[in-house]
Structure 1
């Protein structure tokens, strides 16, 4: 077991839930972009077809960043990595590739929905990753009160 430099602020149920969501979304995206999406892509205007292919790569990139981040949190929870290692820049959540809203609107509905789902998931995890850098007592009135009570007794 690795020394416990501060522990992960994330509950195992949260990281497990994010893992399941990311993996399910990755499987859905793979099924779509490698299946019916291919037929939809082939019916598009050549320029839009390129946008479709680019967007499928962006969806995959976002999901892989989220999955890597979740696996890092799970490693901390399992004692395989300490929190300081998990907070190293290389282990943080990777940036989300930009999506052009105008181009996105030209894609089939399923591609739009998968793109939006990947953006939403990445943004939620990004907020968690950023939140991990803040002092919990500064963001939670309950934790601040508990800290005050702990110092008083």
Structure 2
């Protein structure tokens, strides 16, 4: 059986730096998408402002994706911060195992809705998904290190049964 991946302080630090940069890049993209240059300007007819249905739909999709993306990155950052605290001696292994769990990923987006967003925004969203998947693989590997392996328990029972049976 292969040994679980070891998570080192260097790996956590490198991922933490990557996460900060990616989270900042995502924040910038979504901030720019809400600004006046975003192409979401209301149309004025006789002094009243009106937003087209397509603009409204794009704004709703953008808001949903901004929330999903920032939540995804904040969960990854929290996981990394917990591991940094563990490696710095600020958190015990028990505390990390109890409180350092990575939450499940955000629901997948509807591809048709994503299509209304500009390519750069879609690329940032995809990069955050891939980043989260990397952290999730590390979390699973780290947790597997502590999980009871049923096959080992069964082998022990068989040996005890053979010795005393």
TM range (shorter): 0.7 to 0.9
Q: Do residues 76 (structure 1) and 86 (structure 2) align?
A: yes
Aligned to 2:45: none
Residue aligned with 1:132, SS: helix
For 1:97 and 1:45, locate their aligned partners in 2 and report how far apart those are by CA, in whole Å: 25
For 1:28 and 1:115, locate their aligned partners in 2 and report how far apart those are by CA, in whole Å: 10
Question: Following TM superposition, where does structure 1 have runs of at least 4 consecutive aligned residues deviating by more than 6 angstroms?
Answer: none
TM-aligned CA deviation for residue 41 of structure 1: 6.1
Specify the structure having the higher radius of gyration (Cα): 2
| TM-score computed with the length of structure 2 as normaliser | 0.70
Q: What whole-Å deviation, never above 9, does each CA across 1:97-152 have from its counterpart, x for those lacking one?
A: 1222221122111210111011001111011101112249xxxxxxxxxxxxxxxx
Residue aligned with 1:42, SS: coil
For 1:50 and 1:59, locate their aligned partners in 2 and report how far apart those are by CA, in whole Å: 14
Q: Is there any run of 5+ residues in structure 1 with no aligned partner, and where? A: 1-7, 137-153
Aligned to 1:40: 38
Aligned to 1:95: 104
Residue aligned with 1:87, SS: helix
| TM-score computed with the length of structure 1 as normaliser | 0.75
For 1:131 and 1:56, locate their aligned partners in 2 and report how far apart those are by CA, in whole Å: 29
Contact 2:30–2:66 (CA under 8 A) maintained in structure 1: yes
| Aligned CA-pair RMSD | 2.0
Per the alignment, do residues 47 and 94 of structure 1 end up closer, same or farther by CA in structure 2, a change over 3 Å counting? same
Aligned to 1:139: none
Q: What whole-Å deviation, never above 9, does each CA across 1:54-74 have from its counterpart, x for those lacking one?
A: 101111000100100000000
